[in-house]
Amino acid sequence: MVMFLILLAVLAVAGFWLVGMYNGLVTARNTYKNAFAQIDVQLQRRFDLIPNLVETVRGYLKHERETLEAVIAARATAVSGLSAAHANPGDPAAMAQLGAAQGQLNGALGRLLAVAEAYPDLKANENMIQLTEELSSTENKVAFARQAYNDSVLAYNNRCEVFPSSLIANNFRFSQAALLDIPADKAAQVREAPRVQF
């Protein structure tokens, strides 16, 4: 009888331990999904600023239609990339698409702001000053949100890989999550944030 109680106690402790590991994996997964939600909020704020920026610039940059169209097209691509990633945060293909789309948008915005430098009246425009300050602030928030997301993904992936929680992760289909990274071919143009100094 004593052996049966000891065996029962050991099984109960092992059961609680396994449940704790499973719950830890679920918590880590929810943490990185929440961190992605913060990226989603900041990117949406960024996307909302871009049409106002384009409209403010449009009157001054009549001869720069290609630049404006490139920004509009890049924004549309970035919005669709965010939608794909929002549907499945952590999915490697979705995160790669989002990273590439953000790189394209950063490049287009950088070109737009560089062209805007040549127009002193535009640089002095109150709307332009306010929009570029908001855009710069949002860029910083996106960078912080991306870092928090990547940190959360790293913690989750570590939990999925270390023994013994890897046994739980493999048996319950906890798959690795992808970092939000910038593709190597876009790295040079993206790592340098658009300059919005006026």
For the chain, 198 residues long, give each residue's pLDDT as a single digit of tens: 888 899 999 999 999 999 999 999 999 999 999 999 999 999 999 999 999 888 888 877 777 788 888 999 999 999 999 999 998 899 999 999 999 999 899 889 988 888 888 888 887 788 888 888 999 899 899 999 999 999 999 999 999 999 988 999 998 989 999 998 755 444 444 444 445 444
pTM, rounded to two decimals: 0.79
**What string of DSSP letters covers 59-102?**
TT-TT-HHHHHHHHHHHHHHHHHHHHHHHSTT-HHHHHHHHHHH
pLDDT of res. 37 = 94
pLDDT of res. 127 = 82
For 13, list phi and psi in degrees, rounded to 5: -65, -45
pLDDT of res. 182 = 57
pLDDT of res. 145 = 93
Domains and CATH numbers, the chain: 29-191 (1.20.1440.20)
Which tokens is 40 given?
């989603």
Which tokens is 8 given?
């029962």
pLDDT of res. 95 = 93
pLDDT of res. 17 = 92
pLDDT of res. 188 = 44
- CB contact at 8 A, 149 and 38: yes
Residue in 185, 49, 79, 64 with CA at minimum distance from that of residue 122: 64
Alpha carbons 163 and 34: distance in angstroms, whole number: 25
pLDDT of res. 38 = 93
